[in-house]
Copies of this chain bind each other. A is one copy, B any other.
Amino acid sequence: MPEKPELDFPRPLTTVDVVIFAIRSNALQVLLVQRPRAETEPFPGAWALPGGFVDVAGDRDLEACAARKLKDKTGVVSPYLEQLGSWGSATRDPRGWSATHAYFALLPEQAAGGALAADAQWFAVEGEKVRPNLAFDHAEILQAAVQRLRSKVEYTSLPAYLMPPEFTLPELQRTYEIVLDRPLEKSAFRTRMLAADLIEPVARMRKGPNRPAQLYRLKKARAPVFFARTFNPPG
Protein backbone atom coordinates (compact mmCIF):
# COMPACT_ATOMS: atom_id res chain seq x y z
CA MET A 1 0.00 0.00 0.00
CA PRO A 2 1.67 3.21 -1.14
CA GLU A 3 1.79 5.98 1.47
CA LYS A 4 2.65 9.64 0.97
CA PRO A 5 5.71 10.90 2.81
CA GLU A 6 3.69 13.08 5.18
CA LEU A 7 1.90 10.02 6.53
CA ASP A 8 5.13 8.73 7.93
CA PHE A 9 4.73 11.23 10.75
CA PRO A 10 4.57 9.50 14.10
CA ARG A 11 0.89 9.33 15.02
CA PRO A 12 -0.54 10.06 18.46
CA LEU A 13 -2.28 7.25 20.32
CA THR A 14 -6.04 7.60 19.87
CA THR A 15 -8.49 6.55 22.54
CA VAL A 16 -12.13 7.04 23.46
CA ASP A 17 -13.34 7.39 27.07
CA VAL A 18 -16.90 7.46 28.33
CA VAL A 19 -18.18 9.17 31.47
CA ILE A 20 -21.25 7.17 32.42
CA PHE A 21 -23.67 8.82 34.84
CA ALA A 22 -26.68 7.46 36.66
CA ILE A 23 -28.74 8.38 39.69
CA ARG A 24 -28.37 5.59 42.24
CA SER A 25 -29.40 5.72 45.89
CA ASN A 26 -30.50 9.32 45.47
CA ALA A 27 -27.04 10.40 44.38
CA LEU A 28 -25.26 11.17 41.17
CA GLN A 29 -22.89 8.29 40.43
CA VAL A 30 -20.29 7.58 37.80
CA LEU A 31 -19.00 4.24 36.53
CA LEU A 32 -15.27 3.59 36.82
CA VAL A 33 -13.16 0.60 35.88
CA GLN A 34 -10.02 -0.64 37.56
CA ARG A 35 -6.93 -0.79 35.39
CA PRO A 36 -5.06 -4.11 35.19
CA ARG A 37 -2.50 -4.60 37.94
CA ALA A 38 0.27 -5.67 35.54
CA GLU A 39 3.28 -3.43 36.06
CA THR A 40 3.71 -3.12 32.30
CA GLU A 41 0.48 -1.11 32.22
CA PRO A 42 0.30 2.60 32.96
CA PHE A 43 -1.41 3.38 36.29
CA PRO A 44 -1.70 -0.30 37.34
CA GLY A 45 -4.62 -0.93 39.67
CA ALA A 46 -5.89 2.66 39.49
CA TRP A 47 -9.50 3.56 38.74
CA ALA A 48 -10.18 5.08 35.38
CA LEU A 49 -12.97 6.05 33.03
CA PRO A 50 -14.17 3.20 30.82
CA GLY A 51 -12.43 3.51 27.48
CA GLY A 52 -9.55 2.43 25.35
CA PHE A 53 -8.00 2.49 21.94
CA VAL A 54 -10.00 3.05 18.80
CA ASP A 55 -10.24 -0.19 16.83
CA VAL A 56 -9.36 0.92 13.32
CA ALA A 57 -10.67 -2.32 11.90
CA GLY A 58 -13.86 -2.60 13.93
CA ASP A 59 -15.06 0.90 14.84
CA ARG A 60 -16.95 2.75 12.13
CA ASP A 61 -16.57 6.11 13.86
CA LEU A 62 -15.87 7.67 17.24
CA GLU A 63 -19.42 7.48 18.49
CA ALA A 64 -19.70 3.81 17.57
CA CYS A 65 -16.49 3.23 19.47
CA ALA A 66 -17.91 5.00 22.54
CA ALA A 67 -21.13 3.01 22.29
CA ARG A 68 -19.14 -0.20 22.10
CA LYS A 69 -17.22 0.59 25.26
CA LEU A 70 -20.40 1.57 27.02
CA LYS A 71 -22.06 -1.70 26.06
CA ASP A 72 -18.99 -3.70 27.12
CA LYS A 73 -19.13 -2.29 30.63
CA THR A 74 -22.86 -1.97 31.26
CA GLY A 75 -24.72 -4.00 28.66
CA VAL A 76 -26.74 -0.90 27.83
CA VAL A 77 -27.26 -0.42 24.13
CA SER A 78 -28.62 3.02 23.31
CA PRO A 79 -28.77 5.50 26.14
CA TYR A 80 -28.20 9.23 25.86
CA LEU A 81 -24.67 9.66 24.52
CA GLU A 82 -23.09 13.04 23.88
CA GLN A 83 -19.62 14.08 22.91
CA LEU A 84 -17.87 15.92 25.73
CA GLY A 85 -14.60 17.02 24.18
CA SER A 86 -11.12 15.83 23.56
CA TRP A 87 -7.94 15.89 25.57
CA GLY A 88 -4.59 15.45 23.92
CA SER A 89 -1.03 16.21 24.93
CA ALA A 90 2.46 14.81 24.93
CA THR A 91 2.34 14.02 28.63
CA ARG A 92 -1.09 12.68 29.53
CA ASP A 93 -0.12 9.08 28.76
CA PRO A 94 3.32 7.78 29.74
CA ARG A 95 3.36 5.70 26.56
CA GLY A 96 3.56 8.79 24.36
CA TRP A 97 1.61 11.61 22.70
CA SER A 98 -2.01 10.65 23.04
CA ALA A 99 -5.42 12.12 22.43
CA THR A 100 -8.69 10.88 23.85
CA HIS A 101 -12.18 11.62 22.62
CA ALA A 102 -14.43 11.83 25.66
CA TYR A 103 -18.17 11.12 25.67
CA PHE A 104 -20.71 11.22 28.41
CA ALA A 105 -23.71 8.97 28.82
CA LEU A 106 -26.84 9.16 30.98
CA LEU A 107 -28.45 5.96 32.22
CA PRO A 108 -31.81 5.46 33.93
CA GLU A 109 -31.44 3.91 37.35
CA GLN A 110 -32.73 0.46 36.43
CA ALA A 111 -30.43 0.24 33.39
CA ALA A 112 -27.53 1.12 35.67
CA GLY A 113 -28.34 -1.86 37.84
CA GLY A 114 -27.79 -4.34 35.01
CA ALA A 115 -24.92 -6.58 33.99
CA LEU A 116 -21.78 -4.77 35.05
CA ALA A 117 -18.35 -5.84 33.86
CA ALA A 118 -16.23 -7.47 36.55
CA ASP A 119 -13.75 -4.61 36.73
CA ALA A 120 -16.42 -1.88 36.85
CA GLN A 121 -17.93 -0.17 39.87
CA TRP A 122 -20.19 2.81 40.62
CA PHE A 123 -18.87 5.76 42.62
CA ALA A 124 -20.76 8.71 44.02
CA VAL A 125 -19.88 12.12 42.64
CA GLU A 126 -19.79 14.64 45.47
CA GLY A 127 -19.20 18.29 44.81
CA GLU A 128 -17.55 17.62 41.46
CA LYS A 129 -15.13 15.19 43.13
CA VAL A 130 -14.95 11.44 43.19
CA ARG A 131 -13.16 9.44 45.86
CA PRO A 132 -10.38 7.50 44.14
CA ASN A 133 -7.44 9.15 42.43
CA LEU A 134 -8.00 8.54 38.76
CA ALA A 135 -5.55 7.37 36.12
CA PHE A 136 -4.26 9.66 33.34
CA ASP A 137 -6.06 13.01 33.25
CA HIS A 138 -9.37 11.32 33.93
CA ALA A 139 -10.06 13.43 37.01
CA GLU A 140 -10.02 16.50 34.80
CA ILE A 141 -12.25 14.85 32.21
CA LEU A 142 -14.69 13.72 34.88
CA GLN A 143 -14.80 17.20 36.35
CA ALA A 144 -15.55 18.64 32.94
CA ALA A 145 -18.34 16.08 32.50
CA VAL A 146 -19.93 16.97 35.83
CA GLN A 147 -19.71 20.66 35.02
CA ARG A 148 -21.26 20.09 31.62
CA LEU A 149 -24.03 17.98 33.12
CA ARG A 150 -24.80 20.53 35.86
CA SER A 151 -24.71 23.36 33.41
CA LYS A 152 -26.97 21.68 30.88
CA VAL A 153 -29.38 20.63 33.58
CA GLU A 154 -29.87 24.32 34.36
CA TYR A 155 -31.32 25.02 30.99
CA THR A 156 -32.24 21.77 29.26
CA SER A 157 -34.33 18.69 29.80
CA LEU A 158 -31.33 16.36 30.04
CA PRO A 159 -32.32 14.81 33.41
CA ALA A 160 -35.25 13.19 31.66
CA TYR A 161 -32.73 10.68 30.31
CA LEU A 162 -31.94 9.65 33.87
CA MET A 163 -35.58 8.73 34.50
CA PRO A 164 -37.45 5.46 33.99
CA PRO A 165 -39.99 5.40 31.16
CA GLU A 166 -42.77 6.68 33.42
CA PHE A 167 -42.33 9.08 36.30
CA THR A 168 -44.15 11.72 38.29
CA LEU A 169 -43.34 15.40 38.23
CA PRO A 170 -41.98 15.41 41.80
CA GLU A 171 -39.72 12.49 40.90
CA LEU A 172 -38.37 14.41 37.92
CA GLN A 173 -37.87 17.43 40.13
CA ARG A 174 -35.95 15.33 42.65
CA THR A 175 -33.64 14.18 39.86
CA TYR A 176 -32.99 17.79 38.90
CA GLU A 177 -32.30 18.58 42.54
CA ILE A 178 -29.89 15.68 42.93
CA VAL A 179 -27.88 16.70 39.90
CA LEU A 180 -27.91 20.39 40.75
CA ASP A 181 -27.49 19.71 44.45
CA ARG A 182 -29.95 22.40 45.46
CA PRO A 183 -33.73 22.60 45.99
CA LEU A 184 -35.99 23.99 43.29
CA GLU A 185 -39.29 25.80 43.51
CA LYS A 186 -42.19 23.43 43.09
CA SER A 187 -44.60 25.65 41.22
CA ALA A 188 -42.01 27.26 38.94
CA PHE A 189 -40.61 23.84 38.11
CA ARG A 190 -44.05 22.59 37.23
CA THR A 191 -44.89 25.61 35.09
CA ARG A 192 -41.65 25.39 33.17
CA MET A 193 -41.79 21.64 32.64
CA LEU A 194 -45.31 21.68 31.34
CA ALA A 195 -44.67 24.73 29.17
CA ALA A 196 -41.64 23.00 27.65
CA ASP A 197 -43.88 20.53 25.84
CA LEU A 198 -41.36 17.85 26.69
CA ILE A 199 -43.37 15.34 28.69
CA GLU A 200 -46.92 14.07 28.32
CA PRO A 201 -49.24 12.61 30.92
CA VAL A 202 -50.11 8.92 30.73
CA ALA A 203 -53.50 7.63 31.77
CA ARG A 204 -52.35 5.82 34.87
CA MET A 205 -51.64 7.27 38.30
CA ARG A 206 -49.07 6.22 40.84
CA LYS A 207 -50.24 5.36 44.36
CA GLY A 208 -47.68 6.84 46.67
CA PRO A 209 -47.65 7.60 50.36
CA ASN A 210 -50.15 10.30 49.51
CA ARG A 211 -52.79 10.78 46.90
CA PRO A 212 -52.41 9.25 43.42
CA ALA A 213 -49.81 11.20 41.46
CA GLN A 214 -49.95 11.78 37.74
CA LEU A 215 -47.48 9.74 35.70
CA TYR A 216 -45.70 11.33 32.76
CA ARG A 217 -43.43 10.05 30.03
CA LEU A 218 -41.00 11.72 27.67
CA LYS A 219 -42.55 12.72 24.38
CA LYS A 220 -41.06 10.62 21.63
CA ALA A 221 -38.49 12.05 19.28
CA ARG A 222 -38.03 15.04 21.52
CA ALA A 223 -34.55 16.53 21.60
CA PRO A 224 -33.37 18.09 24.85
CA VAL A 225 -35.36 21.23 25.51
CA PHE A 226 -33.58 24.51 26.02
CA PHE A 227 -35.05 26.51 28.88
CA ALA A 228 -34.95 30.25 28.80
CA ARG A 229 -34.03 30.96 32.42
CA THR A 230 -32.02 29.32 35.11
CA PHE A 231 -33.81 28.00 38.16
CA ASN A 232 -33.62 30.01 41.34
CA PRO A 233 -31.18 32.71 40.26
CA PRO A 234 -28.55 33.30 42.95
CA GLY A 235 -29.61 35.65 45.70
Contact = CB atoms under 8 A, between A and B. Distances in A.
Interface of A: 3-4, 6-7, 9-14, 40-41, 53-57, 59-62, 83, 85-90, 95-97, 99, 101, 155, 226, 228-230, 233
A230 B3 CA distance: 51
A229 B59 CA distance: 40
Contacts of A55: 9
9 nearest CB pairs, A to B: A61-B89, A62-B88, A11-B11, A56-B97, A228-B229, A12-B14, A86-B86, A10-B56, A86-B101
Contact of A85 (B11, B12, B83, B97): B83
B62 A90 contact: no
A190 to B, nearest CB: 19
Nearest to A90: B60
B56 A9 contact: yes
Contacts of A90: 56, 59-61
B62 A86 contact: yes
Contact of A14 (B14, B61, B83): B14
A205 B223 CA distance: 46
Given A40-B4, A54-B97, A89-B62, A11 B9 contact: no
A193 to B, nearest CB: 17
Contacts of A95: 3-4, 7
A90 B96 CA distance: 23
A86 B89 contact: no
Contacts of A228: 228-230, 233
A62 B99 contact: yes
A105 to B, nearest CB: 16
25 contacts: A3-B95, A4-B41, A6-B53, A7-B13, A7-B96, A11-B12, A11-B13, A11-B56, A54-B97, A59-B90, A61-B89, A61-B90, A62-B86, A62-B88, A62-B89, A62-B99, A83-B85, A85-B85, A85-B86, A86-B101, A88-B101, A99-B99, A99-B101, A226-B230, A228-B229
